[in-house]
Every structure is written in structure tokens, then in C-alpha cells.
Amino acid sequence: MSVLFSILAAVAVPHPPLIFPEVGHGREQTIEQTVKSYRQAMKFLASYKPDTVILVSPHTEVYADYFHVSGGFGSEGNFAAFGAPQVKVRVEYDHEFVTALELACSSQNFACGTKGERDPSLDHGSLIPLKFLNEVWTDYKVVRIGISGLSLSQHYKLGQIIRSVSEDLGRRMVFIASGDLSHRLLDDGPYGFAPEGPVFDARITKALDKGDFGDLLEFDPQFCEAAGECGHRSFVIMAGALDGKAVESKLLSYEGPFGVGYGVAEFAVKGSDESRRFGMQYAEKQKQKIAQRRAKEDIYVSFARKCVEAFVKTGKPLDFPDNLPEELLQNKAGVFVSLKMHGELRGCIGTIEPTSENIAREIWRNAVSACSKDPRFNPVQPEELDDIVYSVDVLTPARPVTDITELNPKVDGIIVQNGQRRGLLLPDLEGVDTIDQQIAIARQKAGIAPSEPVDMFSFQVKRHY
């Protein structure tokens, strides 16, 4: 099929329910520019007379390690949850495209498909853009996709697969990336204020306005979480779908009067542009960063990495070497081995107190457990090894805490214990700025309620990168 029939245009739009008078009851007038821009963006899409609309919403099914695509032949939804059941939308799904997408993902061992649907009805992140689109164009089918907890580069790759399928099927397609920006712009907003909120919105609206999709991949996950963002991952999937394309971009409007950022942007595809292979460029930069980091890693980290690599590749622990430094063989300590990939945790297992004859054995055992037995994650796969970075924390002996005001969350780790329940939090973690936060998270990990008494201990670590 001719690649002329592929993804022709895209828009990034917010999804505030109050944008409709039946829900807003006058408040929609406060975001008049957003309403105007929304209609302009949908007229822009309608001008391409699309056969199929790819719609990504962060409020449909979301899984930590899987992208969900709505199955079946169609769906409907309404705004009953917002007091306006009369506002409703029904759409027909592009079943052929969904089937082809699922097959393409399966052939690439990519975690995406129609399994795991819990609620087939249209979510508000889908309803709002479709309601606006229906004002100007109705002769289309929909492919509705959710985001996931996977890395930004995986979201980008999904966009690339979507584009490839669209070219194979010869559809006239447009893309709607549904998502608000920061939810933490004002003290009296629904989620309060965070200094990262306005910074996030300024950066992402600039990226959308300039079509700088490469920058979308560079956002730190902890920064995004602190900003309370909503649509970033939707935008990254859209960026992947436009990989290698010349794009004419325009930010139509930005408003945030209710403490939530609403941005509207449109993107017209104008041909090919090999300089815009942002996924490949990002992967190369990450590869260089990891190579530089590994060139500087000390024996603690290089040993942990070799333990993981050997186990993931062979299924068997690394033969214990006989040439390790004396400091690893003569000393005992609790040790945590942490794995990160694309800036996000990929596994972490450790021991509070030594359980082996020396630090080397502690690393040897915990490294294997971190890559294969952390219950929060699937086991690490061989194809992931090149993207993983490692750290090793060696703990000092724990001591009872008599005065929490003497503790510093950047220096001191914390252990809380009630009977057999025990929770630990390492020091100097991103987003943990106070000892109260540290204690609360440690309690949560142990399943200890805030009202329950605890024995408390502190420790320090020497962190090896």
C-alpha cells in the first residue's frame, strides 16, 4: 500500500469535563480560548477526511507493563459521572486495524493488545475529543489505546508500530493525543501547587509548539510525577507515530485557570525528515551515557552487573570469582542492589543486616534477586541488559532512633517495625524530602498504619554507582 495513506495529522488536546456547558454550568466560559482552539483543532483533523482516528487516553485501561487497546467493534459512554448523562458519544472501532496492531506487537514481543479490559465504556479522556470531532466529522472509526507504566521510549516505540500498521493497511489516519498538562498549578487547585507544575507546562508547551518531540523523551519521570502531569505519555506515543516525518506544528492555546494546564496543539505532516528520528537519537544518547557510566563504575557495581548479566543470559548464578578485593571478602554488611532503566526503577532487593559471610556474597545473592525476584517487576530479559544502570548500597549497622529531629532523609535511612512487620527506606531518594515522608513510606511498605506504634531504627549507606 502507498505510504501516502498513513498518519496525516495529529492534535494534542486536554479533557476537562467542564468544557461542556452541561457540566461546566458557566465555568466553561473561563476557558473560552481552550474551547475555541479545540474546535479549530477538530476542524483541522476533519479537513483530512480520515478513515480512522487513533485516540490515546490516559484514562482508559492502564497497566504497569502492558498497553491496552480497546477490542470489539465499538463502544459508547456519557457524562453521567459528571452530572450530565445526556452528553453521550458512540463510536465504531476499526476492528481490522486493532487486529493488525495486536499481531504486529506480538511479532515484536511488544506488550500491547486487547487483553485485560475491565470497563469497555468510553472514558472522559476519549469522550471529550470525540464529542468535539463529531461536530465536524463523523465518517470514521476509532482505535482507542491506553498508556502504561513502561518507559517513555516504549511509548515512543508503540507510536512507531502504530504508524507502520497504518502504512501497511493504507488508511487515511489522524491521531488524537488526549491529556491535560500539570495538575499542580495553583494552591487552590484540585491537587494543590508544586513548583514543578508551571515549569513542566512551560517546557511541554514549548516542545509542542516547536514540534520538538525529542525533548518529550528527555523528561525525568520523577519530575513528571512531581508536576502531577496527565498527558505526557499520550504525547510521546503521538511523537512516535510521527517519527521521521516533517511536521508543521502550532500551539493554538494554553490556559490553566483552575490549577490544571490545558494545552491545544496541532501537527500537519509535510513529508519525510530523517533528522526527526527522535527515538533512534534518544537510544544512542542513552547508550553513550551508559557506556560512560560503566567506564567509571567501581568493583561493587561492576560485580553486581556481571552477576545480573550472567543470570539473565544463562539462568544460572555467576561462578563466584576468586580475585575480588579484600574489602569485599573480609567485611560483612547489609547490601541493596538497585537496577534502573530509562530513569525508572527496574528492580531492587537487599538485606538490612548481613546474611552472608562477606559483602561479595551479599552482592552476589541480592543482584540475582533484584533482577529475578522483585515482586513488583517481571524478571529482567536479555534484551534489557544494555539499558540497565546499577547501584549498590552498603549499609551501616542499624541503631535505635531516640529523636527523629536528628535525622536527615538525605543521609539517614529508616526502618520501622511492629512485630514481624518491618519496612525500610533508603536515604537520598528523589521526591523524599522530609523525615515524615520517609517514615510514612516505610510504614506503607510494611503495611503498618499511621496510628500503630513502631520501633524505629536508622542507618546510613555508602552508595556505589
**200-206 average pLDDT score:** 98
For the domain that residue 319 is a member of, what is the CATH number? 3.30.700.20
Phi, psi of 68 (to 5 degrees): -95, 135
Residue 265 within any structural domain of the chain:
yes
- Alpha-carbon span 329 to 4, nearest angstrom: 64
Distance (Å, whole) CA 319 – CA 307:
9
Instruction: Tell which residue, 210, 165, 206, 202, has the closest CA to residue 185.
Output: 202
Instruction: Tell whether 210 is covered by a domain.
Output: yes
Give me the CATH number covering residue 91: 3.40.830.10
Q: Say what the pLDDT of residue 192 is.
A: 95
- Please tell me whether residues 387 and 318 are part of one structural domain: yes
**Domain-located, residue 291:** no
Residue owning grid cell 504486529: 104
Domain membership flag for residue 290: no
Mean predicted lDDT score pLDDT of the chain: 95
Residue 90 has pLDDT above 60, yes or no: yes
User: Would you say residue 437 has pLDDT above 60?
Assistant: yes
What is the distance between the alpha carbons of residues 380 and 395, in angstroms, rounded to a whole number?
Answer: 25
Q: Report the pLDDT value the prediction gives residue 344, as an integer from 0 to 100.
A: 85
Is residue 68 located within the same domain as residue 187? yes
Q: What is the pLDDT of residue 2?
A: 41
pLDDT tens sequence across 108-137: 999 999 999 999 999 999 999 999 999 999
Half-sphere exposure of 309 (CA within 13 A, CB side): 12
pLDDT of amino acid 5: 59
- Kindly state whether residue 323 falls inside one of the protein's structural domains: yes
Flag whether 286 is in a domain. no
Domain endpoint, select from 234, 256, 281: 281
Give the pairing type, strands 388-395 and 335-341: antiparallel
pLDDT at 36 over 90: yes
Question: Are both 328 and 235 inside the same structural domain?
Answer: no
pLDDT digits (tens, 9 = 90+) for 263-303: 999 999 999 999 999 999 999 999 999 999 999 999 999 99
- Structural element, H or E, at residue 143: strand 141-146
Report whether pLDDT(3) > 60: no
Whole-angstrom distance, CA of residue 50 vs CA of residue 368: 50
Residues facing residue 463 across a β-bridge: 393
Orientation angle between helical segments 196-210 and 232-241, nearest 10 degrees = 20
Check pLDDT > 80 for residue 445.
Answer: yes
Write the secondary structure of 256-316 as one string of H (helix), E (strand) and C (coil).
CCCCCCEEEEEEEEEEECHHHCHHHHHHHHHHHHHHHHHHHCCHHHHHHHHHHHHHHHHCC
Return the DSSP state at 174.
E
Residues 264 and 10: their CA atoms lie apart, in Å, by 11
Q: Give the per-residue pLDDT at 1.
A: 36
User: Three-class SS of residue 349?
Assistant: strand
Q: Is the pLDDT of residue 75 over 60?
A: yes
Q: What is the pLDDT of residues 163-194, one digit of tens each?
A: 999 999 988 999 999 999 999 999 998 899 99
Where does a domain end: 247, 281, 315? 281
CATH number of 455's domain = 3.30.1490.150
Do 182 and 49 sit in the same domain of this protein? yes
89/178 Cα distance (integer angstroms): 16
Q: Does residue 1 lie within any of the structural domains? A: no
Distances 453 to 417, 419, 443, 449 between C-alpha atoms, Å:
9, 10, 10, 9
- When pLDDT is cut at 50, 70 and 90, the band that residue 431 belongs to is confident
302 in the same domain as 171: no
- Please compute Rg for the chain using Cα positions: 25
Looking at the structure, tell me whether residues 264 and 316 fall in a common domain: no
Do 390 and 402 belong together in one domain? Answer: no
Cell of 60: 482508559
Judge if 306 and 425 occupy the same domain.
no
424: domain range?
396-465
**Are the C-beta atoms of residues 241 and 7 closer than 8 Å to each other?**
yes
Asked which of 281, 308, 335 is the last residue of a domain, the reply is 281
Q: What is the pLDDT of residues 347-397, one digit of tens each?
A: 999 999 999 999 999 999 999 999 999 998 999 999 999 999 999 999 999
Judge if 226 and 373 occupy the same domain: no
Calculate the CA 332 to chain-centre distance: 37
Dihedral of CA atoms 427, 430, 436, 441 in degrees, nearest 10, equals -80
Tell me: do 370 and 407 sit in the same domain.
no
Q: Are residues 403 and 447 in the same domain?
A: yes
pTM: 0.86
Question: Does some domain include residue 220?
Answer: yes
* 224/349 same-domain check: no
Q: How many domains does the chain divide into?
A: 3
Question: Percent of the chain at pLDDT above 70?
Answer: 99
Which candidate, 100, 101, 65, 85, places its Cα nearest to that of 20?
A: 85
Which residue intervals of 116-248 are DSSP H helices? 124-134, 152-169, 196-210, 213-216, 221-227, 232-241
